A and B are shown apart, each in its own frame.
Chain A
Amino acid sequence: AQSVTQLDSQVPVFEEAPVELRCNYSSSVSVYLFWYVQYPNQGLQLLLKYLSGSTLVKGINGFEAEFNKSQTSFHLRKPSVHISDTAEYFCAVRGAYKTSYDKVIFGPGTSLSVIP
């Protein structure tokens, strides 16, 4: 079975401060990892993904994440947040192709609130 844990349900941060949103996963197979953002009343937008290769992944809007296999983590970071980053952030995993794990499992989400 696969699961995703996002330890912080809510993260308040001041504008222009750095932020880290934590994500840990559990899986018995190798996985692909994703971060999505959801703005109010909208669908999800892919921020970044890790499929293989470099463990540091850069995404859109200045976000980056680092895959740590030994700690089964995929934390999302941004060095300086903006008001427009206020949204819900979801970490997700997907298991190996053509297996029963080949489906996207989402974490519960972290609500990021940027304070002016």
Chain B
Amino acid sequence: KAGVTQTPRYLIKTRGQQVTLSCSPISGHRSVSWYQQTPGQGLQFLFEYFSETQRNKGNFPGRFSGRQFSNSRSEMNVSTLELGDSALYLCASSPGGDRGRRETQYFGPGTRLLVL
């Protein structure tokens, strides 16, 4: 099975712009989670989607949003970019559903976003 894929792998934007990142989960996985990784704040949970519904979200401003499509692919969007949004954005997928199927997450390689 192919692993989790994220596109693009690298991205450079300027302040005020918006960006959309894409994540394709492992085939058959219905749950997708997004994380932000920075040297200062470490790994922080952004949101989780299961069957097109947002299941939970972290403590990020409304500029960060996401969605999941019927084929389980997910996108996250950041509007009005700030310098502090520079980070590695990681996507993880899991089979989803009940306990035991949700907890094992498989991570993609990440999208590295640089905001100038």
Binding site for B on A (CB under 8 A): 32, 34, 36, 41-46, 49, 51, 90, 94, 97, 100, 102-109
Binding site for A on B (CB under 8 A): 4, 33, 35, 42-45, 48, 55-58, 90, 92, 98-100, 102-110
Beta-carbon nearest neighbor of B102 in chain A: A97
CB distance B45 to A104 under 8 Å?
yes
Residues of chain A contacted by B58 (CB below 8 angstroms)? 103
State in angstroms the CA–CA spacing of A105 and B57 once bound together: 12
CB distance A105 to B104 under 8 Å?
no
Contact pick for B99, options A44, A51, A109, CB 8 Å: A51
CB distance B33 to A104 under 8 Å?
yes
Beta-carbon nearest neighbor of A98 in chain B: B55
Residues of chain A contacted by B44 (CB below 8 angstroms)? 106
Most buried by B among A43, A100, A104, A108: A43
Residues of chain B contacted by A107 (CB below 8 angstroms)? 42
